[in-house]
Amino acid sequence: MVDHRISLTRYLVEQQRVHGHIPSELRLLLEVVARACKRISFAVNKGELGDVMGSAGTENVQGEVQKKLDIIANETLIEANEWGGHLAAMASEEMEGIYVVPNRYPQGEYLLMFDPLDGSSNIDVNVSIGTIFSVLKKPEGHPGVHDNDFLQPGNCQVAAGYCIYGPQTTLVLTVGDGVAMFTLDREQGSFVLTRENVRIPEDTKEFAINMSNVRHWDAPVKRYIDECLAGEDGPRGKNFNMRWIASMVADVHRILCRGGIFMYPWDKREPRKPGKLRLMYEANPMGWLVEQAGGAATNGRQRILDIQPTQLHERVSVILGSKNEVERVTGYHAEA
């Protein structure tokens, strides 16, 4: 815990004025995103007391059934950002096309991408869920906004983070100057800095993967997990523990707090699909946060942040967390 109370607002002002890391427009945009997350947190908290649980009876562009909270969170983020003036457009896991912010002059400079409610399968069972976001600069040189403007690799992100709605609501952020965590003080209604310079240990004894897919995995992933499972008697010479929350925000949050490796790799169930998770809304922001905390993120062959996206809803294989473990799995792919 940081000694004296520093609000998210003050942290962002310092990032702007003292450290010169962010322009004021980006600061204001992040404030708006944080405000939207606060609203989503209150909706999540109401649970069955509010009309927020269960299925909405609709499907998103990827054919996944939408929960009411998926839609509420998506609308909350759009409404909050629509009139801010700092954004040119938004893209969401829950919307087919981009959402261009209604005409204004001058046009906002930024593009916002989000997974409004990550971990949808956990909504109805009171397990941690979250919002993941990523900010890009709109390319200059042409009026209006096009889908292609979003197709920038993760190394172009200017801000990224998530807000986890768990026992506490915690907003985790990077603007390229390390990772900071802010806990929501419900009485004060503000996010308070609770951890700075978050570091992920380079080694770990904890892995996160959906083990029910073991028969579908590729050989390098199977080799890595088999070696972990062999424990003290195996080639790793140590026992491993396993966690799988099925909310990426919660699994990544644990890794930022105490280390570990998270994998949602390509598998043979749908061989033409590169993975389950989305590059723009999940892998890029989480990959950057993890790297900013000293970890690593790859798709097994390539650094996530260097992947050139070709479509908005592109999927990707994800391996991220403690550096030495991620490098080991990536090395197994290279050998295979």
What is the smallest separation between the CB atom of 256 and ligand AHM, expressed in angstroms? 15
- Regarding 95 and contact with ligand AHM (CB under 6 A), the answer is no
Residue from the set 24, 45, 55, 121 that interacts with ligand AHM by CB under 6 A: 121
Strand locations in the chain, DSSP E? 55-59, 65-67, 87-92, 99-100, 110-118, 129-137, 159-165, 169-174, 180-185, 190-195, 206-208, 241-242, 261-264, 277-278, 296-298, 315-316, 318-321
CB 200 within 8 A of CB 255: yes
Residues 6+ apart with CB under 8 A from 141: none
What is the smallest separation between the CB atom of 124 and ligand AHM, expressed in angstroms? 12
Closer residue to Mg ion, CB minimum distance, 200 or 249: 249
Closer residue to ligand AHM, CB minimum distance, 74 or 152: 74
| Residue 148 site contact among Mg ion, ligand AHM, none (CB < 5 to 8 Å, cut-off depends on kind) | none
What is the smallest separation between the CB atom of 260 and Mg ion, expressed in angstroms? 19
Residue from the set 119, 154, 285, 321 that interacts with ligand AHM by CB under 6 A: 119
Phi, psi values for residue 164, rounded to 5°: -100, 130
Residues 103-162 that bind Mg ion (CB under 5 A): 115, 118
- Regarding 217 and contact with ligand AHM (CB under 6 A), the answer is no
Annotated binding residue 276: yes
Annotated binding residue 120: yes
Piece in contact with ligand AHM (CB under 6 A), picked from 16-24, 38-46, 95-103, 117-125: 117-125
Secondary structure (3-state) at 214:
helix
- Give the number of other CB atoms < 10 A from CB of residue 171: 27
Residue from the set 162, 165, 264, 288 that interacts with ligand AHM by CB under 6 A: 264
Q: Which amino acid is at 198?
A: V
Q: Which amino acid is at 161?
A: G
Q: Distance (Å, rounded) from C-alpha 296 to C-alpha 274?
A: 19
Residue from the set 31, 118, 149, 291 that interacts with ligand AHM by CB under 6 A: 118
Alpha helices in the chain (DSSP H): 8-17, 24-46, 68-82, 219-229, 248-258, 284-292, 323-335
What is the smallest separation between the CB atom of 254 and ligand AHM, expressed in angstroms? 12
First-residue to last-residue Cα distance in the chain: 44
Provide the mask over 293-312, with x wherever binding to ligand AHM is found by CB under 6 A and - wherever it is not: --------------------
CA nearest neighbour of 245 among 262, 257, 259, 229: 262
- Give the number of other CB atoms < 10 A from CB of residue 186: 13
Residue from the set 14, 25, 64, 82 that interacts with ligand AHM by CB under 6 A: 64
| Residue 246 site contact among ligand AHM, Mg ion, none (CB < 5 to 8 Å, cut-off depends on kind) | ligand AHM
Residues touching ligand AHM, count (CB under 6 A): 13
Which residues participate in the annotated binding site? 93, 115, 117-121, 210, 276, 282
Which residues of this chain interact with ligand AHM, rule CB under 6 A? Answer: 64, 93, 115, 118-121, 210, 246-248, 264, 276
